[in-house]
């Protein structure tokens, strides 16, 4: 009886071992030669950003994803899916520099434009190997602006009087409490012109155009995807899937490529955080510091905008 139990147990263990061996030999392993999909959504801004449900496309999160794709040997190519009206110039530049490093590592990068890929969104697209857009995509808006509002008369009507102790005459430049001086306007225009030349240089290099030709197109206007293709700002009309297949082809991947998608958070992550800014972060910030016009007075930042 005991011998039978031992034999039965041995046969059972052998059977389990054979099943596990069969699963190891024949179960499909994770496919190699992947195409990574990275999303650039919302206003492109510095810092962690607020993520998909809550607003901005944080530069730090996008850069981490690009670096992860660069370091992953199984990722052979990358598609940047852009749904953005633009954002801050420095944030767009930093994302663009990471794309240059990615391409230098020998990984093709294809941009896929969604509803809108304008200004800073186009800056990023221009640094990719190829650009896909839908016929109705809104793109272009190549240019720079610095927003300013003079609310001096409004403040007088509501009885608000502000005073500043400053280290120099231009320290409160762009203050809404007073008119801008001619000297300040000249300073800001010089900044805008410098950044504009940088933007033109990026587009000229990325699209293999003469800077003079880029400037003819870069007066701030927007284009449809179809118009942009005719003007040489876009390579092909096509969907995100078309861009994925093109990226795979550029990387020499045969057949249907495996897709690895970065940057999609679960509901738990969106509420409690996953390295980005969670809903709780956003609510706490708005309760402490406020939002809207009033917050502009407390923190009058000077960040040139690409949108």
Which entry of 92, 112, 119, 278 is annotated as an active-site residue?
A: 119
3-class secondary-structure state, position 95: helix
- The answer to whether 295 is a known catalytic residue is no
- The answer to whether 119 is a known catalytic residue is yes
The beta strand positions in 23-148, using DSSP E, are: 34-41, 44-45, 57-58, 75-84, 87-88, 109-118, 130-133, 138-140
- Residue in this structure with the two tokens 């701030």, named with its chain if needed: 220
Spatial distance between the Cα atoms of 36 and 244, rounded to a whole number of angstroms: 9
Strands 109-118 and 130-133: parallel
Spatial distance between the Cα atoms of 38 and 264, rounded to a whole number of angstroms: 9
Which entry of 171, 230, 256, 295 is annotated as an active-site residue?
A: 171
Question: Cα–Cα–Cα angle for 105, 106, 110, nearest 5°?
Answer: 110
**Residues annotated catalytic, as ranges:** 119, 171
């Amino acid at each position: 009886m005991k011998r039978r139990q031992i034999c039965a147990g041995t046969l059972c263990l052998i059977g389990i071992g054979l099943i596990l061996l069969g699963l190891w030999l024949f179960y499909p392993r994770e496919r190699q030669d992947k195409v990574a999909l990275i999303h650039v959504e919302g206003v492109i801004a510095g810092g962690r950003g607020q993520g998909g449900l809550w607003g901005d496309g944080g530069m730090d999160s996008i850069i981490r994803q690009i670096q992860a794709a660069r370091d992953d040997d199984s990722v052979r190519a990358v598609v940047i899916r852009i749904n953005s009206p633009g954002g801050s110039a420095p944030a767009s530049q930093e994302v663009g520099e990471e794309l240059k490093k990615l391409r230098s590592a020998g990984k093709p990068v294809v941009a896929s434009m969604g509803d809108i890929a304008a200004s800073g969104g186009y800056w990023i697209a221009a640094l990719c190997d190829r650009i896909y857009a839908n016929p109705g995509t809104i793109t272009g808006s190549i240019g720079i602006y610095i927003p300013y509002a003079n609310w001096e008369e409004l403040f007088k009507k509501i009885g608000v009087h502000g005073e500043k102790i400053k280290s120099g005459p231009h320290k409160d430049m762009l203050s809404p409490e007073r008119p801008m001086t001619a000297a300040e306007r000249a300073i800001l225009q010089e900044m805008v012109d410098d950044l504009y030349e940088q933007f033109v240089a990026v587009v000229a290099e990325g699209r293999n155009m003469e800077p003079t030709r880029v400037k003819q197109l870069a007066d701030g206007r927007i284009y449809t995807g179809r118009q942009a293709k005719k003007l040489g700002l876009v390579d092909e009309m096509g969907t995100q899937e078309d861009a994925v297949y093109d990226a795979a082809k550029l990387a020499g991947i045969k057949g249907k490529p495996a897709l690895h998608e970065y940057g999609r958070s679960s509901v738990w992550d969106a509420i409690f955080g996953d390295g980005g800014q969670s809903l709780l972060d956003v609510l706490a910030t708005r309760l402490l510091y406020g939002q809207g016009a009033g917050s502009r007075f407390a923190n009058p930042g000077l960040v040139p905008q690409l949108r």
